[in-house]
Structure 1
């Protein structure tokens, strides 16, 4: 039995029914029957316009932030070196531990220095005794001069000079004793600052050199709280910020501690806040950048010197802007576009000028109005000029207030 399509079977059945009725020419009946079947087939094949999710842009007050890559550095960093030479007796710290200023780190054999200090004490006592004797001799000479001529003026001058020499010798002895006592003190190496200590570089029993012969490096200490982050600002950004400052639209970081936010490696949003601390006095001629610095609290000591971070600093005064989800922005060669549903539910591609991201939404500087319906989901089903079935998002523009809502306060300080 041969194959017959549904349309053929439909046409044959219709012709038979009309033929039994009689009265109508076969040609007319056949034409009417074919037209009716074609209309039915077309009505069954035409799909409805594809559904898309639309939302109106969010309207709120925002502040632009400039973002740079920076590296953390310790505010204080010390190489701990031996100040006196000798054999190391002990290491008094745990590698990598937190130490306080004044904590004992190393002990160097103090006995040679204690012996020198003891000798200096004896020399000082001798100098003091000679000074007392010279003083009494001078007093006796002055008395004899006043009562008789047994002592000449020359003898008095000689005894006065002897007293001065004795006092000078006493001063020298005091200095020698102080130096000896300092060497005894330096044999106990203490932490000069608070922070995290590195590993010990010298073990007990080794001979170390003092400052007079190239001091031996024992360990190092870096401070952690607070901590610096250094970053380089490009010349264009510096010029723009200077222009905003001259127009009174932005405070200069030279005389104001502008707030900064820092995002660490692996993070998606800022986790630390701080303030600007320093701007260099010239641009680097090789890179055309300005070295800048911010100071960041580090209470939990989680940030270490040498880490990288993304630094955000205020780049404008607060202004009202329209924002949409960043996923609603498409790229058409060299321009950015969004798809807007017009009043007749047809799709239009709208070129836009983008601004920065703000709390997950993209600022649109030009190309959109607050009442526009932007396709935020179902872009793959939208075709320019074709009709769609728009459905308003439950939370306009990505769980934010809609354009008709009251603008919020500044998104950033």
Structure 2
């Protein structure tokens, strides 16, 4: 028979069972932790450490520019006429003197023949006048003619000589006109599209036939801001920068870095008041025809002579809001935070203007494993700029 007291006891035992389980688990956990102290502690993370690199570094400033041809010619005819032949392939490279267009030569050949005939007549008349002049001189000595007639024959001889010279000039002009019917390239370069084809009328000094641009070398124009220009002038006055012939490095949009080298050969004589910039021009060799006029170019200009600088790997630099910092290896292999003032980038490395010394060893790879300053690490020495060490994965062997 169940009494009220027995029912109450059963309810109490059911309520106490979960609490006993929790207490038992806590006791077991405590016993296991006491039995194996330090079994769950994490080992120090493996990181790569490199000595700060100290070496002379030249200062380079970055600009954007455009490629332009050294020589650009708009080819126009010197004589009028109908185009008889286009003698070049559009877009091909041409050499100075190559035939590009031929204008109908028949009218100019006829004009040359007419000028040559007039020259022959003038020479014949001049020879006759000269003979009469010589005879008149003999007759005058014998008092056979008057002084007036003698002077008239002397003037006719001089006039004949003048007419010969005029006829020779007319022949030369006709020869030039005939020569100008063959339109030739005045420079070495690449020809553009033929803007006038065979059968069309070309007006002298007016009709644009095609364009020719030189290819090697090329010019690269870029604009420097006013502050940079003033800084360059101060460096030049102090003797830390050459007055002219400064080196440049150039890279195109599809290239890594700045593989092409050149020099500055021109700087404008005034600053543009609208933009606050001054234009400069560099000369760059183009033997492989990498540059085409009109391309965008990235330009680095050597701002000052090489000076000693501290360099670290870009991957070691961390950001904390508006501050840059790195972790260096301290005593007992502990990571220490150092706030730095970074400078420009040099061949994948970052110049450090303040915050480090040449004796510091910087954590480069594995820096994301460092969670707080003073954290122990397991360092592996590398050279600054080296890639991250390869992780060795052990392969399981079959029993």
| 1:204 and 2:198 aligned | yes
1:116 to 111, 126, 131: 111
Q: Are the structure 2 counterparts of residues 370 and 3 from structure 1 closer, same or farther at C-alpha, using a change threshold of 3 Å?
A: farther
1:5, 1:361 → 2: CA distance? 61
| 1:291 and 2:279 aligned | yes
Aligned residue number for residue 20 of structure 1: none
Contact 1:346 1:384 in 2 (8 A): no
- Secondary structure of 1:62 counterpart: strand
Offset of residue 207 of structure 1: 1.7
1:258, 1:376 → 2: CA distance? 35
2:308 to 317, 320, 338: 320
Q: Are the structure 2 counterparts of residues 82 and 250 from structure 1 closer, same or farther at C-alpha, using a change threshold of 3 Å?
A: same
Contact 1:86 1:109 in 2 (8 A): yes
Contact 2:54 2:310 in 1 (8 A): yes
Q: Map of 1:125-164 to 2, 5 A cutoff?
A: 125-146=120-141, 148-164=142-158
Q: How many aligned positions are there?
A: 371
Contact 1:54 1:390 in 2 (8 A): no
Offset of residue 388 of structure 1: 2.8
Offset of residue 152 of structure 1: 2.0
- Secondary structure of 2:175 counterpart: helix
2:128, 2:372 → 1: CA distance? 113
Aligned residue number for residue 241 of structure 1: 232
Aligned residue number for residue 340 of structure 1: 328
- Measured on the aligned residues, the alpha-carbon RMSD in Å equals 2.4
| 1:8 and 2:24 aligned | yes
Aligned residue number for residue 392 of structure 2: none
Aligned residue number for residue 263 of structure 2: 275
Offset of residue 130 of structure 1: 1.4
Q: Any gaps of 5 or more consecutive residues in structure 2? A: 1-16, 388-399
Q: Map of 1:11-22 to 2, 5 A cutoff?
A: 11=27
2:118, 2:107 → 1: CA distance? 17
- Secondary structure of 1:155 counterpart: helix
Contact 2:335 2:377 in 1 (8 A): no
Q: Are the structure 2 counterparts of residues 3 and 377 from structure 1 closer, same or farther at C-alpha, using a change threshold of 3 Å?
A: farther
Q: Are the structure 2 counterparts of residues 7 and 80 from structure 1 closer, same or farther at C-alpha, using a change threshold of 3 Å?
A: farther
Contact 1:10 1:37 in 2 (8 A): no
Q: Are the structure 2 counterparts of residues 44 and 169 from structure 1 closer, same or farther at C-alpha, using a change threshold of 3 Å?
A: same
Could you report, residue by residue, the CA deviation over 1:223-256 in whole angstroms, capped at 9, with x for unpaired residues? 1011111111222222222222211222122xxx
1:7, 1:44 → 2: CA distance? 23
Q: Are the structure 2 counterparts of residues 179 and 40 from structure 1 closer, same or farther at C-alpha, using a change threshold of 3 Å?
A: farther
1:304, 1:331 → 2: CA distance? 40
Contact 2:333 2:379 in 1 (8 A): no
Q: Are the structure 2 counterparts of residues 364 and 108 from structure 1 closer, same or farther at C-alpha, using a change threshold of 3 Å?
A: same
Aligned residue number for residue 71 of structure 1: 66
- TM-score normalised to the size of structure 1? 0.83
| 1:392 and 2:380 aligned | yes
2:20, 2:373 → 1: CA distance? 39
Offset of residue 373 of structure 1: 2.5
Offset of residue 203 of structure 1: 1.5
2:346 to 354, 358, 372: 358
| 1:373 and 2:361 aligned | yes
Could you report, residue by residue, the CA deviation over 1:38-95 in whole angstroms, capped at 9, with x for unpaired residues? 5558734443343333222112221111221111111111111122111111111111
